[in-house]
A and B are shown apart, each in its own frame.
Chain A
Amino acid sequence: MSLLQVRDLHTHFISRNLDNEIRIAKALNGVSFEVSRGEVLGLVGETGAGKSLTAYSVMDLLKPPAKVVGGTVEFDGRNLRDLEAEDMNKLRGSEIAMVVQNPRSSLDPLTRVGEQLIRVHTAHTDTSESAARARAIEKLGAVGIPAPEQRMRAWPHELSGGMAQRVLIAMALMNEPKLIIADEPTTGLDVTVQAQILDLLRELVVTHNVAAMVITHDLGIVAHYCNRMAVMFAGRIVETGDVETVFDNPSHPYTRTLIASTPERLKEGKQKVLGGGAPPNLYNLPPGCHYVERCRFADESCNKPLSLDQVGDGHFAMCTRLDAVREGWPS
């Protein structure tokens, strides 16, 4: 049984333009996935595909004009969409923790690091201040921060990007979460620091048996740190499966393009670049497959409603032209 099960999630941006017309941007269009304890799910896709929005929708952190308009989010046996705002608040930061892209901007600049860690814990539990302090020091040590006792007194601006990200991860761990959602956790960090942070994250998944969802556009991270991956395009998951299966045997033409565009594959020089093109207009999406305008294999069948169909063991893809793609793809 998965810890988090998201079914058919729809999120829209509803606004009025200067002409007073109501405009609906369909940003998420039926996103379904699950994450279990002890595994890392990688959510990949291009800018605007809805990766971060999926996380914010799950966490109920959307601000108007964005709104979840359909679907279920089941977490540990509860449907989060039925929860009261107060209960959802309790859940966030305790059972589900989030690690975001700009670590320094998510720390309160006027509060010492230790104080922020303690607050996260005491806000969600009845622990005493001193117990929370001991715990904070322990967690800072656990994320590899040297001299954690002294670091408790540090101000956020004294931390480097990598250190700030560690503090954020320590903060996420304060309440022993069951699920960690990491949104581009290493974007903007240097390669050598990125490796440190990702190693830490994976170690936590294994030792604490938590579930993790990593949102990234870097296929290198997915290849080496995730167990399963889900490829998003224009608000839908178009392909999902075990990382090795998807890399060995990409089925959806978008996934194929993505993997063929990695420097490693380009280096092999097997094929010319196939990808590119503008993302589809979210205000006016095609009726069937959203990839249809960029796809060389599209025909009439692509205008019918689609479903995520099984193409292998635990491997699903949303495409009606799989056979044509398999035959026609240059190898």
Chain B
Amino acid sequence: MTEPLLRADKLTKHFVTPRTGQTVRAVNGVSFEMFAGQTVGMVGESGSGKSTVGRMVVRLLKPTQGSVTFRGRDIAPLRDRAVRALRSDLQMVFQDPWSALNPRMRVKRIIQEPLLLHSKLSDSERSDRVEEIARSVRLNTDLLTRFPGELSGGQLQRVCIARAIATSPGLIVLDEPTSSLDLSVRAGILDLLQELREETGAAMLFISHDLGTVRLVSDHILVLYLGHIVESGPMAKVFDEPAHPYTQTLLSAHLPADPRTQLHRHLLEGEIPSPIDMPPGCPFSTRCPLVRDECRTALPPMVDIGDGAQRAACIRIPEGSNQVPL
């Protein structure tokens, strides 16, 4: 079996709130693997810790506990200087392209910045490379001399993507890259990502709360709830046969943009608990329609479903009573 490109092992991140001194348990022991060229979709509601996981994977945040093994090396304990050297290989695209670009820099400087920092290209080589990258993200090269404020949201996100792929990284984390874009623009960006994935072979961690989009781009799905992975598996399996009660209700609440699809819904009551007051036991136990007493005491382990590619953390799975009535 091939070595994974990235292995996150029991990643944990706790923050202490500055004023009240409470501990926010944002991420609690998340483990997963990513292989070269694979797109992993990470879904979860706000407060599920998905952005925090993404930031730990690229070491914008230092994990409280756990390790991130990238290309065989644990990058979690590295110091800032050593992390900087890794930047050409580990990239990230942010949610809001309007605020992710320095408004006082022209597009050309924005795209060439990673090359400036990580390569020894001459000025003219760098210019050529910037134009090449701009073309590969289908950005009109006339825009290179503009400032971000003069570009539309879709064009800005293309600039962000261009910047991320400039040094041909092995792994790109995309944190809700399309959620702030309009529908027709969004489709173009998704299409571009698909194309780049084939061209560059980069692994992508696609973080989103939009199930439709995740379904469109991912090979593998991770479902997060309150900083825990509750289910993981191949895209088609998780969407067609969700095992964890949370995944089932999450999928049932999704509204496909087609009036003719019948909705089969089980509506959850209440909302995701605060990561400050974590329920003991299963994180989903406060809202789960199938909850039992045992669920409230101990954290359920991840168990294999069928062929082992799909796994979920629910004690009802072994006995087969994990289906939420829809």
**B183–A217 touching, CB < 8 Å:** yes
A residues 258-290 touching B (CB-CB < 8 Å) = 258-267, 272-279
**A263–B253 touching, CB < 8 Å:** no
Partner of B257, one of A190, A263, A273: A263
A133-170 CB mask vs B (1 if < 8 Å, else 0) is: 00000000000000000000000000011110000000
A95 shortest CB reach to chain B, Å? 30
Inside 8 A of A262's CB, which chain B residues have their CB? 183, 212, 256-258
B180-196 CB mask vs A (1 if < 8 Å, else 0) is: 00111111101100000
Inside 8 A of A259's CB, which chain B residues have their CB? 257
Does chain A have a CB within 8 A of B249?
yes
Inside 8 A of B45's CB, which chain A residues have their CB? 190-192
A-B contacts, 7 of them at CB < 8 A, read: A162-B271, A190-B45, A191-B209, A196-B268, A223-B258, A257-B184, A276-B188
Kindly state the separation between the CA atoms of A163 and B270 in the bound complex, as whole angstroms.
Answer: 9
Inside 8 A of B211's CB, which chain A residues have their CB? 191
Partner of B249, one of A192, A223, A224: A192
B99 shortest CB reach to chain A, Å? 15
Question: Which among A190, A257, A267 has the greatest number of chain B C-beta atoms within 10 A?
Answer: A190
**A46–B267 touching, CB < 8 Å:** no
**B267–A199 touching, CB < 8 Å:** yes
Inside 8 A of B260's CB, which chain A residues have their CB? 244, 247-248
Kindly state the separation between the CA atoms of A136 and B245 in the bound complex, as whole angstroms.
Answer: 35
Does chain A have a CB within 8 A of B321?
no
**B187–A273 touching, CB < 8 Å:** yes
A88 shortest CB reach to chain B, Å? 32
Nearest B residue to A160 via CB reads: B271
B187 shortest CB reach to chain A, Å? 4
A190-215 CB mask vs B (1 if < 8 Å, else 0) is: 11111110010000000000000000
Kindly state the separation between the CA atoms of A272 and B253 in the bound complex, as whole angstroms.
Answer: 28
Asked, given contacts A220-B212, A224-B263, whether A258 binds B253 with beta carbons under 8 Å apart, the answer is no
Does chain B have a CB within 8 A of A234?
no
Does chain A have a CB within 8 A of B298?
no
Partner of A272, one of B153, B191, B257: B191
Nearest A residue to B185 via CB reads: A276
Inside 8 A of A278's CB, which chain B residues have their CB? 152, 155
Does chain B have a CB within 8 A of A221?
yes
Does chain A have a CB within 8 A of B318?
no
Does chain A have a CB within 8 A of B126?
no
B98 shortest CB reach to chain A, Å? 11
Partner of A247, one of B155, B182, B212, B259: B259
Kindly state the separation between the CA atoms of A11 and B177 in the bound complex, as whole angstroms.
Answer: 33
**A275–B250 touching, CB < 8 Å:** no
Partner of A190, one of B185, B209, B258: B209
Asked, given contacts A191-B209, A193-B271, A196-B267, whether A244 binds B183 with beta carbons under 8 Å apart, the answer is no
- Secondary structure class of chain A's binding surface, majority of residues: helix
Inside 8 A of B261's CB, which chain A residues have their CB? 223, 264
Inside 8 A of A279's CB, which chain B residues have their CB? 152
Inside 8 A of B209's CB, which chain A residues have their CB? 190-191
Partner of A191, one of B190, B215, B216, B250: B250
B219-258 CB mask vs A (1 if < 8 Å, else 0) is: 0000000000000000000000000000001100111111
Does chain A have a CB within 8 A of B265?
yes
New A-B contacts (10) at CB < 8 Å, excluding given A163-B271, A247-B259: A162-B271, A191-B250, A192-B253, A192-B271, A218-B255, A223-B257, A247-B258, A264-B256, A264-B258, A278-B155
Does chain B have a CB within 8 A of A47?
yes
Does chain A have a CB within 8 A of B66?
no
B148 shortest CB reach to chain A, Å? 14
Does chain A have a CB within 8 A of B154?
yes
**A263–B212 touching, CB < 8 Å:** yes
**B267–A275 touching, CB < 8 Å:** no
Inside 8 A of A248's CB, which chain B residues have their CB? 260
Does chain A have a CB within 8 A of B46?
yes
Inside 8 A of B269's CB, which chain A residues have their CB? 196
Kindly state the separation between the CA atoms of A224 and B256 in the bound complex, as whole angstroms.
Answer: 8
**B182–A47 touching, CB < 8 Å:** yes
Question: Which among A47, A199, A257, A276 has the greatest number of chain B C-beta atoms within 10 A?
Answer: A276
Partner of B182, one of A161, A194, A217: A217
A60-102 CB mask vs B (1 if < 8 Å, else 0) is: 0000000000000000000000000000000000000000000
Does chain A have a CB within 8 A of B323?
no
Kindly state the separation between the CA atoms of A277 and B249 in the bound complex, as whole angstroms.
Answer: 36
B residues 2-34 touching A (CB-CB < 8 Å) = none
Does chain B have a CB within 8 A of A182?
no
Does chain A have a CB within 8 A of B272?
yes
**B255–A224 touching, CB < 8 Å:** yes
Does chain B have a CB within 8 A of A298?
no
**A261–B258 touching, CB < 8 Å:** no
**A46–B183 touching, CB < 8 Å:** yes
Kindly state the separation between the CA atoms of A188 and B210 in the bound complex, as whole angstroms.
Answer: 12
**B188–A273 touching, CB < 8 Å:** yes
Does chain A have a CB within 8 A of B213?
yes
Kindly state the separation between the CA atoms of A263 and B211 in the bound complex, as whole angstroms.
Answer: 9
**B183–A191 touching, CB < 8 Å:** no
Does chain B have a CB within 8 A of A219?
yes
B residues 136-190 touching A (CB-CB < 8 Å) = 152-155, 182-188, 190
Asked, given contacts A191-B45, A192-B45, A266-B216, whether A220 binds B188 with beta carbons under 8 Å apart, the answer is no
Question: Which among A217, A257, A266, A277 has the greatest number of chain B C-beta atoms within 10 A?
Answer: A266
Nearest A residue to B263 via CB reads: A224
**B184–A46 touching, CB < 8 Å:** yes
Kindly state the separation between the CA atoms of A160 and B276 in the bound complex, as whole angstroms.
Answer: 14
Inside 8 A of A264's CB, which chain B residues have their CB? 212, 256-258, 261
**A220–B256 touching, CB < 8 Å:** yes
Inside 8 A of A174's CB, which chain B residues have their CB? none
